[in-house]
Amino acid sequence: MTDSNKWYTQSGPDGDVVLSTRIRLARNFSDIPFVGRMTDAQKAQVEERVRDAVLNGNWALAGNFHYIDMEHCPHVQAVSLAERHLISPEFSQGAAGTALLLLEDESVSIMVNEEDHLRIQVMRPGLDLNEAYDTADKIDTLLDEKLNFAFHDRLGYLTQCPTNLGTGMRASVMLHLPALQELGSMNQLANTVAKLGLTIRGTYGEGSDAKGAVYQLSNQVTLGISEQAAIENLRSIAQQVIAQERNARKQLCADVRVQDRIWRSYGILTTARTLTVKEFTGLISNVRLGAATGILNIPMDVISRLLIDAMPGTMISQSKQELDAAKADLERARLVREALGANRP
C-alpha cells in the first residue's frame, strides 16, 4: 500500500463528493523560446536552472523535493505518476529534456519542459482551493525571484498555448458523481458550467473518460480575470454541483435495488480472486457511494488509497516485479480483499 503520509491517503472538506483539489500554474522563462521552438541545449538549460532553483533555493521545502529525469524514468513508474495525477499522461512518455520535481508527500509537483517551461502543481484532498492556491502562489513567487518568468503588462503571464494567457492558472476539483451520472444529468451539467466559464471533463482531463464516475471540473478563462475571481467562481459552482449530487444520492439510494447493488459490489470486492481494472473501477465507485451515504461503514481514506494502489502502473511499481495482465488482476484482487476485509461494515 502507498505511504500513509501521501496527500491522497487523506479525506478533505466535502470529501464525500470531492476527491481532490488542484492548482496548476504555467510559467515560462523570459529569455528562452517556448518549448515548441526550443533546441535540445535550451531544454537542458531550462532543466538545469529549474532544478537548481528548487533544490538549492533558500526556502524551507527545498530539501524535501525529489528530482526525476523523465527521459530515463522507467515506463511503469511514469505511468504510476500519471495515475496519481502528478503528471499529465503525455508527460509520461519521457521526451528528451523533461524532468519532474516532486515533494515527498506528493502534494507539489513541478513539471519541466512539458507544454511550458514549468508547470507548478499543488494538490489537496477534498475541496480546498484557498490552501492549494496559497501554496502554489508562494512557490511561484519564490521561483520567479530566481528564474524571471515571462510577463506582459496587458496579457499577463505568457504561455505557449494562448488559452493559458493571463493568470496561467488552471484550478480544478475532482468530483465523484455517480448519482448525477446514473440519473442522466451530466450533459446538462456540462452545458450549464460551460456558460459560466468552466468545463467538466473525464478523470484524466481533456479527451479522457470518466472512470468510476470521477469527473474533473476546472476553470476555462485565464485572461482578463484574477486568480481569486477564478477560484471563487470555481468554488461557487463546485458547491452547487456537490449539493446536486447529494440530493441525487438521496433519491437514488432510497431504491432498494441500488442498495443491493452497493452491497453486492462490496461482496465481490471482498471475495474476488481476480479483478480487471475496469471491473474494479465500477465496483469501487458503488462502494464509495455506499460509504459516502452511510450504507457501508468504510473509512473514505481506505477507498482513496485503493483508487491509487489498484491502478496498473502503481500496483506493478510497488510490487517491484513484472506482472502480466493475469497476474496483475490476481494482485489487484488480493490488495482489495485485504484493504476492505480489514474494514468490514
171 annotated as ligand-binding: yes
75 annotated as ligand-binding: no
Q: Note whether 204 and 190 are within 8 A (CB).
A: no
202 annotated as ligand-binding: yes
314 annotated as ligand-binding: no
> Helices marked H in the chain — which ranges?
40-55, 75-83, 129-147, 178-182, 186-194, 227-253, 256-271, 277-293, 300-309, 312-319, 325-341
245 annotated as ligand-binding: no
133 annotated as ligand-binding: no
227 annotated as ligand-binding: no
218 annotated as ligand-binding: no
117 annotated as ligand-binding: no
170 annotated as ligand-binding: yes
270 annotated as ligand-binding: no
Instruction: Provide the sign of the torsion angle of the four alpha carbons 84, 89, 90, 93, taken in this order.
Output: positive
Cell reading at 329: 488482476
Cell reading at 71: 527521459
119 annotated as ligand-binding: yes
* Size (the chain), residues: 345
290 annotated as ligand-binding: no
Q: Note whether 223 and 154 are within 8 A (CB).
A: no
Which phi and psi (to 5°) does residue 149 adopt?
-70, 150
C-alpha–C-alpha distance, residues 343 and 345, integer Å: 7
C-alpha angle with apex 247: 125 to 15, nearest 5 degrees? 10
243 annotated as ligand-binding: no
60 annotated as ligand-binding: no
C-alpha angle with apex 47: 46 to 48, nearest 5 degrees? 95
204 annotated as ligand-binding: yes
Q: Which residues are annotated as a binding site?
A: 20-24, 85, 119, 170-174, 201-206
Task: Specify binding-site residues for ATP.
Answer: 20-24, 85, 119, 170-174, 201-206
